[in-house]
Amino acid sequence: MRLNEDLVFHFSGEIDRTSVTHDCVRVTDAQGRRARGRLDVDGPRVRFVPATVLAPDLSDGGYVPGATYQVEIAGFPRPDGLRGVDGAPLAATYRWRFRVVALTDEGRPYFEDRDPERVRPLRLFPAPQSVPKPRRDDDKPSGGSELRYELGPLDAIYLRCEEPLDPSSLVDGAFALRSRQGVEVRLRSRLLENEPDAALRPRPARARSSVQPASWQRELRAALVELTPVTRLAGGLSSPWSLVFHPEVRTTRVTLIRFLPGWPALPVLVPHFRSGVPRDLGGHAVWEPALVQVAFPIVERGRDDGRGVWLEEFVDTRLRSTLAVPGCDGTATWSDTGRVEVRFLRAAGDGRLGDLELSGPQSFRDLHSVRAVVPSGSTCTLSSQPGPVVVRAQGTLRIAGRLERATGGRSTFVFGREKLSTWLERVLTAPAEIAAREMDWTVLVAGGDLVIEGEIDVSTPLLLVAGGRIRVTGTVRGGQPTQVFRLGEGGGAGLTASNVDELELDPPDQNPLRSTLRFAVLSGPLPPRGTVVEWLEAEAHGSSEPKDAANPGWSVRYLPEFARAPAVPEDLQPVDSPELLERPGSIQLLIELTVEPGERWRPPFVDSVRLAWLESKGSER
């Protein structure tokens, strides 16, 4: 079964539409999780249409690549079974299985191309306008004409196609804009729509375009590609820009190399070139060379009315605050990926023991908690038996008191290039005599923040790991001064540790959560320059829009610039829009991400925030 293939069930008579529900027609994987999609009824046929695939890694559609699904159609004697329009129930319940194509299946197509003879090229959308071609020197008409696609400084470029596209063929960096001076700005690619058939569709709620909404419903489209500049575009002498297309994009990939016979194979990053050509579901190229003939002038709309605009796309960590957000489980990750996201660790465990307070002697080897704390004023003494001891928390792991351990073992084990979860499993499953001789480690792993306000004193090598942030205001001592290691962001004055670059912080394959976790991060003051006399509006975009989901899993709120670090949640008092703030001036963003137990591991993210304000006269932009 391919990733976009419908399931069609044929019956001997017309089906009662009211009897067709996701309870009586179930499509579930081996763990009992339902495939995402809709059910359509057409006379004697019932069709399951899987959810559209949009992500480049093909992971967000109705089916999970490589998974095996069971189909169950409920019939007699179940009261909620399928019925005909005459009221007669389906004679019995039917079950069967199918397997979805895996991304490792060589030579097998991932998608069903329902019209393989039809190839439609990408077109600019809305269509560019033909205007008199200006001269370079005096900007007067030269007698010719050119196609122009007008952009605002923060606008994206949109491409439409009258047939669905293969999301994996859209590669960041394949498209760019080039100025008259030769400056090239990379464009990030994102597939916003990917429907089976072309139709007139309204403007997407997330579109970054100055074009009037009515213009969006004049041309057919099945797929819509958004090309977003990684920085604000300049007008004036740099404009108009031209579109550049790179048919090959340079990336890197991991290759195992054995340097000498008998040595273990080590993973090495090597340069790799991949095709940047967009393709349809049948693998046909849909790139249209005429697109590079279009001019892209930048129009500074409203520049003279004293408006300031800031688009934050989270590619610059200098605007990130390192302050802790009180009341949350961990710090959301703001690196250079263009997103604020959750970096949860597979090594954070399954949380089987729930929330724990640790004090007194402990004999465990591998503890799995949701949240764990060594309370202030108490001492937790870990096992004195040589070998590894691992403390895991899905949320916050807080050492407010004293954590100690003394063993007679030793550790000669060194890190190799591998995933953290793989390394932990190998250390924990080693035979006892080898573990005591070579793997006498103490490891603290937090899926959220690892907070050390008290004291850690162990005689073994110590590894501190956090998916959120490591925050140390206390003291940390390992068996030797050089035996404290850190994996993750953060630190503190009381921590002298070596970074472990060999281990990879790998995410979970499935949703392991036992309870809801909240991650958050603060920005620095925005805007970083200029004077705000009145806030006008703010707009945020993320993994799903609030209007598209009852609980999108993320929020962006606003608060005045801090005079001091917040200590309790009441110090924040954010508002939903900067217009609601009592005084003008710089603000800070409070970005919150919520992850919950469920069927799939699909953590939310925020990828842009746009702010607009009125400036005082004479302020620099």
> Please, which pLDDT band fits residue 140 given cuts at 50, 70 and 90?
low
pLDDT at residue 480, rounded to an integer? 84
- Report d(CA 30, CA 301) in Å as an integer: 54
pLDDT of 186 reads 87
Tell me which range, 113-117, 135-139, 461-465, is most confidently predicted by mean pLDDT.
Answer: 461-465
Question: Counting Cβ atoms within 10 Å, is residue 114 exposed (0-12), middle (13-18) or buried (19+)?
Answer: middle
Q: What is the pLDDT of residues 321-355, one digit of tens each?
A: 989 999 999 999 998 788 999 999 999 999 999 99
pLDDT tier at 532, thresholds 50, 70, 90:
confident
pLDDT tens digits, 15-60: 999 999 988 999 998 888 889 899 999 999 999 999 999 988 888 8
Query: pLDDT grade, residue 435 (50/70/90)?
Result: confident
The CATH class of 7-99 is: mainly beta
Residue 547 has pLDDT above 60, yes or no: no
Domain ranges of the chain: 7-99, 123-300, 305-341+514-615, 346-504
Of 175, 295, 304, 177, residue with least CA distance to 231: 177
| Residue environment code for 20-52, b if the CB has 16+ CB neighbours within 10 A, otherwise e | beeebbbbebeeebebbbebebeeeebebbbeb
Least confident of 235-239, 461-465, 473-477: 235-239
Position 415 scores a pLDDT of 79
What is the structure's pLDDT at 235?
Answer: 75
- Flag whether pLDDT at 621 surpasses 70: no
pLDDT of residue 529: 61
- pLDDT at position 9 is 94
The predicted model gives 118-134 an average pLDDT of 85
Percent of the chain at pLDDT exceeding 70: 91
Please determine, for residue 308, whether its predicted confidence score (pLDDT) is greater than 80.
no
**Distance separating alpha carbons of residues 486 and 444, to the nearest angstrom:** 10
Q: In this predicted structure, what is the pLDDT of residue 546?
A: 45
pLDDT at 204: 80
What CA–CA distance (Å, rounded) separates 596 from 550?
Answer: 14
pLDDT > 80? residue 135: no
Summary mean pLDDT of the chain = 87
Distance CA 207, CA 189 (A): 13
- Using pLDDT thresholds of 50, 70 and 90, give the confidence band for residue 253: low
Residue 576 has pLDDT above 60, yes or no: yes
DSSP assignment of 319-386 equals GB-----TT-SEEPEESSSSSEE----GGG---TT-EEE--EE---SEEEESEEEE-TT-EEE---SS
Q: Write down the pLDDT at residue 206.
A: 66
In this prediction, residue 228 carries a pLDDT of 86
Give the pLDDT mean for 527-556. 74
pLDDT at 511: 93
Instruction: Give the mean pLDDT of 536-557.
Output: 74
pLDDT (tens digit per residue) in 260-304: 676 666 666 667 788 889 999 999 999 988 888 899 988 865 444
pLDDT of residue 302: 46
pLDDT for 358-377, tens place per residue? 999 999 999 999 999 999 99
Over residues 490-518, the mean pLDDT reads: 90
